[in-house]
A and B are shown apart, each in its own frame.
Chain A
Amino acid sequence: MRGSGIPIWFFIGVLLTIYGAMILVYGVAEWTTGNYPAGVQLTQLHTPVWWGGLLTALGLLYVVKFRPGRSK
């Protein structure tokens, strides 16, 4: 969206950052305790860690790049 409002990309960045951080923290806890959910496949790949990290990085990028008040 053009104009002076908060861009949608900022909202997306906020949500991805929160989601990514939560999933990353859970993934690290799962890895360190070795307590994996029953029935889930490929747990040895530690998906929540790298996927959570990826979402966090992407989210932070959007938050910083599209934060309100940032000059274009």
Chain B
Amino acid sequence: MFGLLTAPIASGFPGSLPAMLLFNTEPLAHLRSLDVVVICLYFAMVLWIGFYLKGRTNTSEEFFMAGREMTAWIAGLSFVSANLGSLELMGWAGSAYQYGILATHWYWIGAIPAMLFLGLMMMPFYYVCKTHSVPGYLNLRYGEHARSVAAFAFAVEMILMSGVNMFAMAVVMKVVLGWDLNFSIIVSSLAVAAYVGLGGLRSAIFNEVLQFVLIWGGALLVPILGLIQAGGVSGLKTKIMQNLQTMSSTVAPDSYFHLWRDTGTFAANPMGVHWTGIVFGLGFVISFGYWTTDFLVVQRVLAAHNLRAARMAPIIGSFFKMAVPFIVILPGLLGLVLLQNPDGSHRQLVGEDVTAACTRATAGGLENSGACSAAMAKTNLSADVQQKVLSGAPDSELHTYNQALPLMMVRYMGPGLLGLGITALIAGFMSGMAGNVSAFSTVWTYDIYKPLIHKTGSDSHYVMVGRLSIITGVIVSIGAAYLVQQFHGIMDYVQALFSIFVAPLLATILFGMFWKRATRLAGFLGLLTGIIFSASLFMWVKFNPAALATVALSPDAKPMAENVFRALWAFLFTAIVIMVTSAITKPRPVTELEGLVYGATKLPAEEPAPWFKREWTWAIVAVVIFAALNIIFW
């Protein structure tokens, strides 16, 4: 859901990606020539779109805002797709394998309310003020200083995240297909630089819609065929219960099928979470922070052709978001019962820490059998399997939770179909990179270069700066990717950037948009001190792990709880700073807040539309489906 953020929260996937490189094993899949043709065709199509759109991308409005001519459907699909990366798919399938359908919270309560709120309540202000970016809104509402803080934070975060994304893709391609890291990084970055540099945001949006279709075309087969083989939903449920009863689990096996029932205490559910953390931390601060203020996704909606389309786009996106667990969570659950070892026995997946401890030396034996044995002792692996791993027997490699989805793909997809599945993964990675780079280009040009470096350039000058910033951004991303490869610990800090930044930004924007009294100084101080406060909490826990119990209010808290509670405290801290500072400083006249703040803005009249085309109608439908899903899987 939150790009690279959520996967480490639940599964430790990206953070432990480097560990995957340590495990010297055979690739999971071998491509045939038909698969290679499928992948090459995708690259050809992506470049064709970029070259085609270059001729239609001449002005800055066309390059940075896609001409503001996207329909609600395209903006909505792009909005969801920009977030649906391959790490999402693989990480959350792995989380479903570990935690059951609790992982679905990140797709439902962790997304739907925020998406609907963006469309119904916030989009009018973003859209009516005609800002080019989220820092641009802060400039209009709070002034230059708040904009500069947000712009620099966004720019650094996006470019580093792009590098991490690039490195993550290279690692996954190496593990799944055995591809060389350098090959994956260079090819993907060149393709992204070409199509975004040529066609700007319009090209990025087109490719995100294409990617969305490919992900469904490539990944939908896994749950369909898996359900057929498992004997339908009831067969799946029965088999999971049988499997889990044989494992030494502290929670009831049927808690894998309940979203809320067992969240009254930390210990009663497989994920070790409490409903308050899910509702307030995930469902409010983190979710609203990401879906309503992260420029990477908001930029897609700003490209809509009118206010109604801009409001409808997140609502349309919410329906697709609710459907994503079918291709992500269900394959993880199916993996629990269907994955088999080469000898036909049931295959159990393990965490990256276990595969790292069981690293094989090039000669074939284990590097440290003691560490491996100790790591496996904490798992549910049978004694027979553990013995095979320790003896280095052929076909005894361990596979991680995060490999659940590719393993399921290999299980059902022959030549051609496997190429389609791998193309879906590649498309997901490239789309994530393109989203970061296109957002970086806009923020750099409009919020840093234009106001701070060169204020009086021509329109074509800023388009050129935008294109150059994309190339520069890709080069810096490649540098970041290699930096992460050399110094794995950096990855933790890069991923923390988003979670440090999001809560203060959410508080600053919400107060700016819904409280006329919030002053310029309050916005700037709230944002700046909120970021410092949030970063301080992060560093405190980083260098003193015992502090986690204080931050997360429980000695049993896990890293996921830390992220959620840190966001909550940072939000509250920023809110207090804004309220106190506003109380002692002079507010702006209400007339200056026209188009920026609720209560001071007269929204433009929308063209009359029949009830079935109105945004409120579809928002209500989305709420009903959302509520029904939560009740059904209670």
Contacts and interface: CB of A to CB of B under 8 A. Distances in A.
Given A22-B416, A37-B414, A47-B225, A16 B217 contact: yes
A42 B210 CA distance: 29
Interface string A11-51: 11011101100110011001000001101111101011001
B38 A22 contact: yes
Contacts of A36: 414
B126 interface: no
Given A2-B71, A42-B412, A45-B228, A26 B34 contact: yes
Closest 10 CB pairs of A and B: A23-B416, A37-B414, A40-B414, A8-B206, A2-B69, A26-B416, A15-B45, A8-B209, A12-B213, A41-B411
A51 to B, nearest CB: 6
Interface string B358-375: 000000000000000000
A42 B228 contact: yes
Contacts of A27: 416
Contacts of A5: 53, 56
13 contacts: A8-B49, A11-B45, A15-B41, A15-B45, A15-B210, A18-B41, A22-B37, A22-B416, A23-B416, A40-B411, A40-B412, A41-B229, A43-B414
Interface in B51-79: 52-53, 56, 66-67, 69-71, 74
A8 B417 CA distance: 23
B428 to A, nearest CB: 16
Nearest to B209: A8
Given A1-B74, A52-B416, A19 B38 contact: yes
A32 to B, nearest CB: 15
B42 interface: yes
Given A1-B71, A23-B416, 13 more contacts: A2-B71, A5-B56, A8-B74, A15-B210, A19-B38, A22-B416, A26-B415, A26-B416, A42-B228, A43-B414, A45-B228, A48-B416, A55-B217
Contacts of B214: 15
A69 interface: no
Interface of A: 1-3, 5-6, 8, 11-12, 14-16, 18-19, 22-23, 26-27, 30, 36-37, 39-43, 45, 47-48, 51-52, 55
Given A1-B69, A18-B41, A30 B209 contact: no
Contact of B42 (A15, A43, A51): A15
Contacts of A23: 416-417, 420
A2 B305 contact: yes
B417 A47 contact: yes
B151 to A, nearest CB: 28
State the main secondary structure of chain B at its contact with A.
helix
Interface in B596-628: none
Contacts of A15: 41-42, 45, 210, 214
Nearest to B338: A41
Contact of B225 (A3, A30, A37, A45): A45
User: In this complex, which of B74, B411, B417, B420 has the most chain A Cβ atoms within 10 angstroms of its Cβ?
Assistant: B417
Contacts of A12: 209-210, 213
A39 B413 CA distance: 10
Interface in B15-66: 34, 37-38, 41-42, 45, 48-49, 52-53, 56, 66
Contacts of B410: 39
A40 B416 CA distance: 13
B71 A19 contact: no
Contacts of B48: 11
A65 to B, nearest CB: 14
B221 interface: yes
Contact of B417 (A1, A18, A41, A48): A48
A37 B217 contact: no
B202 interface: yes
Contacts of A8: 49, 74, 206, 209-210
Contacts of A1: 66, 69-71, 74, 202, 206
A14 B213 CA distance: 12
A6 B217 contact: no
A6 B210 CA distance: 14
Nearest to A62: B213
Contacts of A2: 69-71, 305
Nearest to B49: A11
A23 to B, nearest CB: 4
Given A5-B56, A22-B37, A11 B225 contact: no
Contacts of B66: 1
B53 to A, nearest CB: 8
Nearest to B410: A39
A41 B209 contact: no
Contacts of B52: 6
A30 B420 contact: no
B228 A40 contact: no
B69 A51 contact: no
Contacts of A51: 221, 417
Contact of B210 (A11, A47, A55): A11
A32 B412 CA distance: 19
Given A42-B229, A52-B416, A16 B213 contact: yes
A22 B42 contact: no
Interface in B195-233: 202, 206, 209-210, 213-214, 217, 221, 225, 228-229
